[in-house]
Copies of this chain bind each other. A is one copy, B any other.
Amino acid sequence: MVEPGVYEALARPLVGPLDPYFIGVLDQVRHMLRSTFGTRNPLTWAVSGTGSAGMETAIANFVEPGATFAVLECGFFGNRMTEMGRRQGARVVVLEKPWGEVFGYDEVAEFLRREKPAVVAFVHAETSTGALQDPRPIIRAAREVDALVIADAVTSLGAMPVSVDDVGIDIAYSCSQKGLSCPPGLAPFTASPRAVERLYQRKTPVPAWYLDVRLLGEYFDQHQYHHTASASLYYALHEGLRLIHEEGLENRFARHRRANQAMVRGLEGLGLRMHVAEGHRIPHVNTPRVPDGVDNGKVRKHLLEKHGIEIALGRGPLDGKVFRIGVMGPMANEDCVQMFLGKFGEALTA
How many Å lie between the Cα of A49 and that of B250 in the bound state? 33
Contact indicator per residue, chain A 183-219, by CB within 8 Å of chain B (1) or not (0): 1110000000000000000000111111100000000
Check A49/B49 contact, CB under 8 A, given A56-B209, A230-B183: yes
The reply on A131 being an interface residue by CB < 8 A is no
For A84, give the chain B residue with the smallest CB separation. Answer: B209
Contact (Cβ within 8 A) B210 A49: yes
Stretch from A5-13, A101-109, A258-266 that touches the partner: A5-13
How many Å lie between the Cα of A213 and that of B309 in the bound state? 33
How many Å lie between the Cα of A69 and that of B308 in the bound state? 52
Contact (Cβ within 8 A) B231 A183: yes
**What's the least CB distance linking A182 to chain B, in Å?**
9
Contact indicator per residue, chain A 227-257, by CB within 8 Å of chain B (1) or not (0): 1111111001000000000000000000000
List A1-28 residues whose CB lies under 8 Å from chain B. 2, 7-8, 10-11, 13-14, 16-17
Contact indicator per residue, chain A 124-155, by CB within 8 Å of chain B (1) or not (0): 00000000000000000000000000000000
* Partner of A227 from B7, B52, B60, B310 at Cβ < 8 Å: B52
Contact (Cβ within 8 A) A233 B185: yes
Contact (Cβ within 8 A) A232 B183: yes
Contact (Cβ within 8 A) A49 B48: yes
Contact (Cβ within 8 A) A232 B10: yes
For A88, give the chain B residue with the smallest CB separation. Answer: B207
Residues of B within 8 A of A8 (CB): 11
- Chain A contact-residue range equals 35 or more
Contact (Cβ within 8 A) A209 B52: yes
For A228, give the chain B residue with the smallest CB separation. Answer: B184
Check A227/B50 contact, CB under 8 A, given A60-B207, A208-B56, A209-B83: yes
* Partner of A53 from B80, B83, B206, B210 at Cβ < 8 Å: B210
Contact indicator per residue, chain A 266-284, by CB within 8 Å of chain B (1) or not (0): 0000000000000000000
Residues of B within 8 A of A206 (CB): 87
For A52, give the chain B residue with the smallest CB separation. Answer: B227
How many Å lie between the Cα of A184 and that of B209 in the bound state? 18
How many Å lie between the Cα of A211 and that of B87 in the bound state? 12
**What would be 18 A-B contacts, judged by CB atoms less than 8 Å apart?**
A11-B11, A17-B184, A48-B49, A49-B210, A49-B227, A50-B228, A50-B229, A52-B209, A52-B210, A60-B208, A80-B209, A86-B205, A87-B208, A183-B230, A184-B229, A184-B231, A208-B208, A232-B232
Supplied contacts A49-B49, A52-B226, 17 more A-B pairs, CB within 8 Å = A8-B11, A48-B185, A52-B228, A53-B227, A56-B210, A80-B209, A87-B205, A87-B206, A183-B230, A183-B232, A184-B230, A184-B231, A185-B185, A207-B207, A230-B233, A232-B232, A232-B236
